Amino acid sequence: MVKLSAKRAQRVRRKLRLSKVSRVRLSVFISNANIHAQLIDDQSSKTIASSSTKLLKLKSANIDSATKVGSDIANKAKEANINTIVYDRGGYLYHGKVKALAEAARENGLKF
């Protein structure tokens, strides 16, 4: 149990280093069961678009699911006329699911 709380504390410290930006950001949250991605406008404090494994009715939260969520959020960003974003990985390391989601979003036209 001690290791889990230490990991969580490290993630929170990494997350606090991110300062609020004035552009649209792509925020990622990963739980054991789902992957969530949101496009957030920090100036107006509103969510522009969101996607998740729940919305896409995917059964698991693996790298393939992260790729599908990334391409879906990129398509929703295109519909909202958003091309440039800031990637907020939420304190997670840029590896595995977080990396797959980002690369899928880039392949579908988003610029980080």
pLDDT in tens, 71-99: 999 999 999 999 999 999 988 999 999 99
Distant-in-sequence, close-in-space partners of 102: CB < 8 Å, separation ≥ 6: 70, 87, 89, 94, 112
Find the DSSP H helices in the chain: 2-16, 63-79, 97-107
Which pLDDT belongs to residue 14? Answer: 78
**pTM, entire model:** 0.82
CATH of 2-107, one of 3.20.20.140, 3.40.47.10, 2.40.50.140, 3.30.420.100: 3.30.420.100
Q: Is the Cβ–Cβ distance between 65 and 52 less than 8 Å?
A: no
Is 60 exceeded by the pLDDT of residue 104? Answer: yes
- Residue whose C-alpha is closest to residue 88's, from 112, 62, 61, 64: 112
Residue type (1 letter), 61: A
pLDDT band at residue 61 using 50, 70 and 90 as cut-offs: very high
Q: What rounded mean pLDDT belongs to the chain?
A: 90
- Tokens 């406008």 — which residue? 41
